[in-house]
Structure 1
Amino acid sequence: MSGGWRVRVAGGPADREACFAVRKDVFVAEQQVPEDIEYDVFDAEDAVTVHVLAVRDDGVALGTGRLLHGPHAADRTGGDPSVGSLGRLAVTGAARGLGVGVALVRAIEDEARGLGLTAVDLHAQSHALGFYERLGYVAYGAEYQDAGIPHRSMRRPLDT
């Protein structure tokens, strides 16, 4: 990546804790999402979850996201096991505008392709629809509330 940072699959407890720290900073502190609903059982399920992490060259975490796949993702994507669920995408305030969010989404899509998935779904905060639309995601369904924040479901088919 340019700018002295890169994105990688989170490997091991230290990377996972860095992912959680970014999420706590962005979702819990900044957006006031209750901490008890920010973290879920999938955060510890390596068999169904891939976490990605953006880090500066000096090791400071800049952003994170996760891909949920398998039967648990199907529960979130209308029952289709070939569709992954992108979630918990967060970029620290200092790193916004550097392309970190785009790189995280593309890394999650690459992981989804590697797992043989055909599409990625996500539940976007409504204010972020334009960001995801620029990356090829299309909104569907009505707006709904999640953690008191308006959201829309979106999907992007993956190139094979």
Structure 2
Amino acid sequence: MLAAFKICSGTWNELSHDAKAIRESVFIQEQHIAPEDEWDELDAVSIHFVVYEYDQAIATARLLENHSIGRVAVLETHRGLKIGQQLMQAVIDYAKHEQRPFLKLPSQVHAIGFYQALGFKQQGESYLDCGIPHMDMYMALQ
């Protein structure tokens, strides 16, 4: 039986409690990113997205004013269920509705194929961010 997934978008004030818990689990605990590297002033000015399975927050992402998507995370217990794909499609649809010209994101190298399947293209050279190999990716929307 398929669970009922709901995707909410809103401000950091509205969604921080749930988004924070997911990011702490995925980035700080799993990937060993330092808390001071995870939390920044951009949260306050971003649109946040949280996926809920019933009442449990299971995935999150944020969309910045500069059209950059970041902090995309799915709880380990819910990976492989296409939740990340649904989350990203919600962010893309939101950006299209706002008539943004493009989207960009810093992909961890292991996730490049995931973003390519959504229509993002690699841009530039790979680089290290918090000790993790990344590649910038880009999608034109108009």
The TM-score normalised by the length of structure 2 is: 0.93
Please tell me whether residue 98 in structure 1 is matched to residue 84 in structure 2: no
Q: How many residues align?
A: 141
Please tell me whether residue 32 in structure 1 is matched to residue 32 in structure 2: yes
CA contact (8 A) 1:140 1:154 kept: yes
Q: Which runs of 5+ in 2 are unaligned?
A: none
Aligned to 1:77: none
Give the whole-Å Cα distance in 2 for the aligned partners of 1:17 and 1:122. Answer: 23
4+ runs deviating over 3 angstroms: 10-14
Counting aligned pairs with the same residue, the percent is 33
Amino acid at match of 2:52: V
Aligned to 2:71: 88
Aligned to 1:148: 131
CA contact (8 A) 1:143 1:150 kept: yes
Give the whole-Å Cα distance in 2 for the aligned partners of 1:150 and 1:85. Answer: 18
Q: Which runs of 5+ in 1 are unaligned?
A: 74-83
Return the offset for 1:14. Answer: 5.5
| Cα deviation code 1:113-154 (max 9, x no counterpart) | 122201110000000001111111100101000010000000
Give the whole-Å Cα distance in 2 for the aligned partners of 1:10 and 1:17. Answer: 12
Aligned to 1:101, the other structure's residue is in SS state: helix
CA RMSD of aligned residues (A): 1.4
The TM-score normalised by the length of structure 1 is: 0.83
| Cα deviation code 1:69-89 (max 9, x no counterpart) | 1xxx2xxxxxxxxxx101000
| Cα deviation code 1:47-90 (max 9, x no counterpart) | xx110000011x11110000001xxx2xxxxxxxxxx1010000
CA contact (8 A) 1:10 1:16 kept: no
CA contact (8 A) 2:22 2:57 kept: yes
Between 1:106-115 and 1:86-95, the stretch displaced more is 106-115
Give the whole-Å Cα distance in 2 for the aligned partners of 1:12 and 1:32. Answer: 23
Q: 1:61 aligns with which of 53, 57, 61?
A: 57
CA contact (8 A) 1:10 1:50 kept: yes
Amino acid at match of 1:54: V
Amino acid at match of 2:59: G
CA gap of 1:56–1:11, structure 2 versus 1, over 3 A, is farther
Aligned to 1:29, the other structure's residue is in SS state: helix
